[in-house]
Chains A and B, each alone.
Chain A
């Protein structure tokens, strides 16, 4: 599947396109198919997102898993500071990223 990600323009936080809006959670990302460029251009022009880009992901039981490690780290947070990630109470989360 192809999913769309970027950073919020004002805050810089990592966001994922959920079909309607930009979500903090990769689990909410939807397959955008060949619409990626059109959505990215429209949303960037409206300044709802900054530097959006499309990535490959696979659908898993836990939701989309980005193909590249860099985007998996983006989806979680720094693996060396689990307290600052989106899953501070899940000690196994870092391992799943790698």
Chain B
């Protein structure tokens, strides 16, 4: 994985010093909260319901075991013994003191980590495919391109005060595991007809209160123009994105209002101008970055089958692994969705264990998934039983990847100052209900996503089943949505009708899954059945 050189380290250290000084000026009263807020947000520090919250960047979701250990240590030393893995592959801590924040950033810098631009109206941490460098179906490892763009976007002088936040995802496979087209910029690293590698740019996607699927803006950007083209996309947005209304300030609104074609034309014009400005790093920089993401020393001639004598192991191994490009290896998913648990939460002890297992079984590397789970990307198939036993002992072996128990849920009203309703209790009740009735595996792949407000951090628009918490005259109310997908078959979910109270929404989820089971044809997922039969039968079952 990527390692800092003296320049990267100096920049992160400088940021720590800058924030330490800014925090001190705030504590001394030389900065008002209005002035300090954008500064602390650009260092990932929010003021939430109960305390300050710190969001730490995990660039493209990749962590070494030393970094995972450091995240656990921060949970113990500065927080209350746990952290929360987020839908943008980051981690956040819920109980942070302002007076500790600079010390935490300093601890992070020691393991080449930071909280730079994890909030604020700037380019956020860049996300990627959690199976990058491991998956059998990828063209190239997308992370070197994400790292190139990470450096370009860090402290970018022109783009620190954009109209709104700006999220970029980079993938390189036909299978989309990063919700690429639901980002402000989604980049797919592709090969053109001439056999050259380049980048397809999708611009103007997003969730939030006005969900949009990003249109293709340019089919192929050569690798030696990647930064320049990105800069052109951002400059057009910075100049013309709306600033009169916070809810219309994202780039999706600009692209939608201009039309994709006109936006693309303006970007081309700016791009042509910027090509003369000498802002593109040489290809040698990309070549410098690439070896950090080279394959680890995979062994040849490994067995491709594990000892399958334990039926519980078989269930886990079949559900929680992904085919690997190297024979004899697999990517193993550690579920942070125990039945009745809090999606994405991990204790310091669990983080230490996952770090240790990454070292022992996965070439010292793990990944954060946008679904709030952890991946050990390169595990020998023959090691799976031993790995599984250790995970099971720590309550980390829920065999439920991509099932109805593998719920994405934002922190909701239990933690978040923006939320209108609690998300976590709803997810707990749904996973308990389906687990208790033994329905989970019968339902197959079923992505259920819950947001506690319209900002959609819980990706409800992209759920096969989505749930949106709203405030109905001071009480929590939940809308049900069906038919979304964040994957390569991307679609936006539609609301079924009137909302439900908390017990009602759990019943409603059961009602629509019952209908699916009754209606499904050979091999259909919930989503496929919904797409075939449409909304009407589901409405009838819910409200009829």
| B97 and A11 within 8 A (CB) | yes
Name the interface size band of chain B.
20 to 34
| A80 and B98 within 8 A (CB) | no
With A and B bound together, what is the CA distance between A12 and B47 in angstroms? Answer: 7
User: Chain B, 91-116, contact with A by CB distance < 8 Å: what is the 0/1 string?
Assistant: 00011111100000000000000000
In the complex, B342 has a CB within 8 A of chain A = yes
Among B80, B98, B419, B476, the residue within 8 A (CB) of A98 is B476
| B475 and A11 within 8 A (CB) | no
Residues of B within 8 A of A25 (CB): none
With A and B bound together, what is the CA distance between A67 and B475 in angstroms? Answer: 11
| B98 and A14 within 8 A (CB) | no
| B474 and A12 within 8 A (CB) | no
CB distance from B416 to the nearest CB of A (A): 10
Determine the residue in chain B with the shortest Cβ distance to A13. B51
In the complex, B220 has a CB within 8 A of chain A = no
Binding-face segment, B154-162, B194-202, B422-430, B482-490: B422-430
User: Chain A, 66-98, contact with B by CB distance < 8 Å: what is the 0/1 string?
Assistant: 011110011001111100100000000000001
Residues of B within 8 A of A9 (CB): 26-27, 98
Residues of A within 8 A of B52 (CB): 12
| B50 and A13 within 8 A (CB) | yes
| A73 and B414 within 8 A (CB) | yes
Determine the residue in chain A with the shortest Cβ distance to B82. A81
With A and B bound together, what is the CA distance between A51 and B417 in angstroms? Answer: 13
Chain B residues 59-114 with CB under 8 Å of chain A are: 80, 94-99
Given contacts A12-B96, A73-B413, A98-B476, contact A7 B51 (CB under 8 A): yes
Among A10, A50, A84, the residue within 8 A (CB) of B47 is A50
With A and B bound together, what is the CA distance between A77 and B424 in angstroms? Answer: 14
In the complex, B278 has a CB within 8 A of chain A = no
With A and B bound together, what is the CA distance between A58 and B97 in angstroms? Answer: 31
In the complex, A42 has a CB within 8 A of chain B = no
Among B96, B415, B428, B475, the residue within 8 A (CB) of A78 is B415
Among A51, A69, A70, the residue within 8 A (CB) of B475 is A69
| A67 and B50 within 8 A (CB) | no
With A and B bound together, what is the CA distance between A2 and B401 in angstroms? Answer: 48
Given contacts A51-B33, A98-B476, contact A80 B47 (CB under 8 A): no
